[in-house]
Amino acid sequence: MIPEKQKILIVDDSEMNRAILTGILDDGYDFLEAENGLQALDVLRAHRDISLVLLDIVMPELDGFGVLSVMGEQHWIDQTPVIMISAESDSMLVERAYQLGATDYISRPFDKSVVRRRVMNTLMLYGKQKHLMRMITEQVYRREKSNRLMTGILSHIVEFRNAESGPHVQHIQTVSELLLRQLARKTDRYALTEDDIALISTASALHDIGKISIPDSILNKPGKLTAEEFEVVKTHAAVGASILQNLPMTQDEPLIQVAYQICRWHHERYDGHGYPDGLVGDQIPITAQVVSLADVYDALTGERCYKKAYPHETAVRMIQNGECGVFNPLLIECLLDIQDQLQREIGTPPEARNFSLAAQRISDHMVREDDLPFENNLQYRLAYEREKQTFFAPFAGGLQFDYNIRQDRASVSDYTADPVCENRTFTAEELLRLYAVSPEDSRRLRDAAKQTTPESPDASISATVTVRGEKTLCRIAIRTLWSRESIRRIIGVVGYVVPIGTDHSAAPALSLRMNNITGLRARTILQELQLYFDKVRLVTPEDHGVYKLNEDGSLKRRERPCYAIWGAEQVCRNCAGCKALSDKNRVVKLELTKTGIYQVIAKSVVVEGRPFVLELISRSDVGIWFDSHGKKILLEKYGRDFYTDALTGAYCRQYFEDQRASLQGEDGVAMIDVDHFKEINDAYGHPVGDVALKKIVGAILSCIRSTDMLIRYGGDEFLVIFPQIQKDAFTLKMRYIQDVVSRLAVDGYPDIRLSVSIGGVHRVEPLTEAIRQADQLMYRDKANKGVLRL
């Protein structure tokens, strides 16, 4: 059978652009088109099998954001991924689209290979997720079905002796389940999960197993029992409980525990007039309360050896009137709420009942829950799959591997290859040879894996890997997978290999909302981010604290202050953390140290109700940086020299330009220009001019604070940025600079008189404007020498 082509919806108001996209993606897909947002929603409503939406932002009728919002409200976005088409590389728009649930974006102008790859990756990722969902549903369905079958057989043996109506067990399960679901809807009091509901309704089948000990003569006696006979019948509750208690299997099994409660207490009554223990109110476990009501309801509506069947209405009225004892009023409400459904479901033969719906519900729940119960191999395998899935999720594409240690088999998916080659298997040795990983790197990778623990299973190294004949510097990131046995061992390793400098990014992890998250959640996020950055930490910039997250999510302050990491003994210039905290935003800055250049992304976060700054630090020696959204960018040139002016040692213009984004809101901005510098060069030659320039820079540096920033802006023009400075102090500083420079002498040239013109502005925004005004003032200063202007 030819598999059906996947459907892609292209939404763009330009017919040309839609045609270009269709042309680029070619004949591998079926295309649907819409020229505005409203049309797009109509198409989505009519075709629920669309695999992917390519969505423009600016459109008539309803724009791209509007479409995303509706898709979110309708939960379509859970099933149908959206890739945005953004004309501008405006990061604000892209950010907003991500927040609304977009998976990725394509920017104009279109690049054929990028567009094709993004589409392919997104489809593949969603396809895998759907496949996993289906698999879990299927397995849960099967497990549920056989569990029910077994308890069904068991209880039927009891019922068979009892000669009660066959479907009694089935009815009790159904009624219990419906009651429980309604109860969970009504109140949080009993904290019922889908798992609990399934468990209780399964266990309800066992409520009467104690009847196995009651003689036939009493059990099947038509007509009224004598007082003694009734006392014998009453023992079945306690007997059933003790049968379960004496089972030669673990009592921790939730099913046994629940069944015990049900057997022992399903004849208790809310007012304390039941048996065997006379419990009152919520002393009776809710499990038993529910089953006892279900039991009474079914006894009334069914035929018994001692009575005829009552119609539904009569049964409900009798229960309401307390003719069968007192029940939890909340449960009676639930019974009334579900009346219609009850009559419908009880009337349906058991085979027709929709097990798969229940399975779907449970699997939904399992996929959402964080901790899976590890009851059997199957669930364990699913958990393993799920862990792999979460690990790979942020990195659609690249080279991925999944290594099983016991079998020494690795399967490799190379999404960089076109067509995608999947499911080739190798031994570890073969794999390392195939990609020409050096013995040294192999050893480092093994060592990194050995360092992992079940609690922190991630590690990464950078290594040279040969991909399709080309040596490439890559990051190899791995996650070790651990056995669930009491002695935990590594049983597998999953990993991916990404060339350093491709457009892979930490964006998904970074774009997570981190407003008041718990310590545990923060720990997980930090671990994930450690895959991308050399150092990830939480700091409190106002008091220079660095915090550690313990395994239980608690926060502990480290001894060393935040700036110690830079080998600095004092607070950093242009503290990115302070800025991120005050702007409640992300800030990127570069930190130059003796050992190299580091890039710091600072993001304000709230953990356990406390404000922190999340710092993501990467060393730039490999030539990769991240932009403020965590997207990797590659710099052609790098190294410390790249950012400092070779002659004077001041920062060079490029540093300023790269830092610019984090430099808003500075207090003082000054432009300094050397007077008559051209004349000095002309009269004495460039070497002398260079000496003079060096002297001047030295003089300026001696006047400014270490937190200020001196940039060689042009040939003999300098820019000084003073964060946080009072206006008076700023004015004084500029006078001081002019004064110190005027006293400089150039050795061997006593007649050279050095001076500078300065223009400074205080608190002018934005920075571009501040520089423009400072520049003007500087020229005015030059024109009437000696009078400093502000």
Provide, rounded to whole angstroms, the least separation between the CB of residue 615 and other proteins: 37
In the complex, minimum distance from the CB of residue 476 to other proteins, in angstroms, rounded to a whole number = 30
SS3 content of the chain, % helix, strand, coil (to 5): 45, 20, 30
Read off φ and ψ for residue 733, nearest 5 degrees.
-55, -40
Instruction: Tell me how far, at minimum, the Cβ of 94 lies from other proteins, in Å.
Output: 16
Output 18 or 586, the one with its CB closest to other proteins: 18
Q: For residue 229, what are its two tokens?
A: 């006979």
Nearer to other proteins, 109 or 609 (CB): 109
Helix (H) or strand (E) holding 600: strand 596-607
Identity of residue 495: G
Cβ atoms of 710 and 704 within 8 Å: the answer is yes
| Nearest distance, CB of residue 12 and other proteins, angstroms | 8
Sorted by sequence, the CB contacts under 8 Å of residue 28 that are 6+ apart come out as: 5
Min. distance of Cβ 61 from other proteins in angstroms?
A: 10
Provide the total of helices (H) and of strands (E) in the chain, helices listed first: 26, 24
Determine how many CB atoms are found less than 10 A away from the CB of residue 582: 13
Measure CA of the first residue to CA of the last residue in the chain; give whole Å: 80
Q: Is the CB of residue 327 less than 8 Å from the CB of residue 319?
A: yes
- Minimum distance from residue 71 beta carbon to other proteins (Å): 22
d(CA 192, CA 183): 8
User: What Å distances lie between residue 715 and 252, 281, 669, 683, 769, CA to CA?
Assistant: 80, 88, 18, 17, 21
Query: What tokens appear for 332 in the block?
Result: 């009676």
For every residue of 104-116, DSSP letters joined together read: EEEESSP-HHHHH
Q: Where are the alpha helices (DSSP H) in 604-726?
A: 653-659, 677-684, 686-703
Which residue's CB is nearer to other proteins, number 112 or number 131? 112
Least distance (Å) between residue 24 CB and other proteins: 7
Please state the closest distance from residue 65 (CB atom) to other proteins, in A. Answer: 15
β-pairing, 668-674 vs 717-722, is: antiparallel
56: enclosing H helix or E strand: strand 50-56
Nearest CB to other proteins, comparing residues 18 and 579: 18
Q: Would you say 60 or 166 has its CB closer to other proteins?
A: 60
Closer residue to other proteins in complex, CB, 24/491: 24
Residue 58 Cβ, how far from other proteins at the closest point, in Å? Answer: 5
Q: Which is nearer to other proteins, 58 or 461 (CB)?
A: 58
Q: Which of 525, 665, 517, 515 is nearest to 582 (CA)?
A: 665
122/82 Cα distance (integer angstroms): 9
Query: Which among 350, 325, 315, 298 has a CA at the least distance from the CA of 164?
Result: 298
CB-nearer residue toward other proteins: 59 or 549: 59
Q: Which is nearer to other proteins, 21 or 669 (CB)?
A: 21
Query: In this structure, which amino acid lies at residue 409?
Result: R
Least distance between other proteins and beta carbon 729 (Å): 40
CB of 766: closest distance to other proteins in angstroms? 17
Distances (CA, A) of 251 to 153, 197, 246, 374: 22, 20, 9, 16
What does the alpha-carbon distance between residue 663 and residue 657 come to, in Å, rounded to a whole number? 10
Residue closer to other proteins, measured from CB, 107 or 452 = 107
Smallest gap from Cβ 110 to other proteins, in A, equals 5
The residue among 35 and 645 lying less far from other proteins, judged by its C-beta, is 35
> Which CB, 12 or 295, lies closer to other proteins?
12
Least Cβ distance, residue 66 to other proteins (angstroms):
14
15 vs 375, which CB is nearer to other proteins? 15
d(CA 204, CA 258): 9
In the complex, the smallest distance separating the C-beta of residue 59 from other proteins, rounded to whole angstroms, is 8
Six-digit token string for 263 = 């057997």
Q: Shortest approach of other proteins to residue 776 CB, angstroms?
A: 25
* Integer angstrom CA distances of residue 92 from 84, 319, 548, 634: 13, 62, 32, 21
Of 112 and 424, the one with the shorter C-beta distance to other proteins is 112
Q: Phi/psi at 61 (nearest 5 deg)?
A: 70, -70
At residue 638, φ and ψ (nearest 5 deg) are -155, 180
Q: Which is nearer to other proteins, 114 or 153 (CB)?
A: 114
Bridge partners of residue 97, in order along the sequence: none
Q: Which string of DSSP letters, residue by residue, matches 514-563?
A: -SSB-HHHHHHHHHHHTTT-SEEEEEEGGGTEEEEE-TTS-EEE-SS-GG
Name the residues that contact other proteins, by CB under 8 A: 13-17, 19-20, 23-24, 56, 58-60, 87, 108-113
> Which DSSP letter does residue 224 get?
P
Q: Is the Cβ–Cβ distance between 313 and 300 less than 8 Å?
A: no
Residue closer to other proteins by CB (options 18, 207) is: 18
Nearer to other proteins, 66 or 665 (CB): 66
- DSSP bridge pairs for 290: none
Nearest to 317 by CA among 302, 339, 295: 339
Q: Cα separation of 765 and 95, whole Å? A: 25
Helix (H) or strand (E) holding 149: helix 112-162
- The dihedral through the CA atoms of 765, 767, 768, 770 has a sign that is positive
We find the least distance from the C-beta atom of residue 16 to other proteins, in angstroms, to be 5
The token pair at 777 is 């003032």
Which one-letter amino acid corresponds to residue 776? Q
State the minimum distance, in angstroms, from the CB of residue 92 to other proteins: 17
Identify which of residues 112 and 142 has a Cβ nearer to other proteins in the complex: 112
Closest CA to 139 of 356, 353, 371, 352: 356
Nearest approach in angstroms of CB 427 to other proteins is 38
